[in-house]
Amino acid sequence: MVVNKPSVRYDEDFNGWIEETIALLKAKRFEEIDVDNLIDELESMSKRDKREILSRLKVLLLHLLKWKYQPSHRSASWEITIRNNREEIAQILQDSPSLRSYPSEVLVQAYDSARKNAASETGLAIASISEQCPFTIADILSESFLPNPTASNGM
């Protein structure tokens, strides 16, 4: 049996390779598919959504911390950033329900990054920002939650 090689090489024309792979799948010509690169791309797709959740969670937490620790600087821009990142995380979780627990799994990592960035952006001493995330994951992802100001925020 002669197996045809793909006419478009993965490393020469990525989009052409994708289109050819789709056509081969639709035609059920599985023996002609570049399986190794297809596996790599599927694994990469899974990682992409996880990276996106982590990135958006960091930005969301950063703005929630700024909202909490700098109430006099609150702005519509911060609120829009909070809302947009919640919506984007919610959309990913709607599209991929198997990732619903992922924000909780990476919360400590995301919070650590957000805490450092919040200290840098606000000029507050990092010690004045809680070491432990002061928000629950339910609050973080809730459409309506905005934190109350901290009583002693160094302002």
Using alpha carbons, select from 61, 12, 58, 60 the residue that is nearest to residue 34.
12
Q: Specify the pTM.
A: 0.82
Question: pLDDT tens for residues 71-84?
Answer: 999 999 999 999 99
Amino acid in the structure at residue 128: S
The alpha carbon of 42 is separated from its chain's Cα centroid by a whole number of angstroms, namely 18
Question: pLDDT tens for residues 92-136?
Answer: 999 999 999 999 999 999 999 999 999 999 999 999 999 999 999
Using alpha carbons, select from 104, 107, 59 the residue that is nearest to residue 86.
59
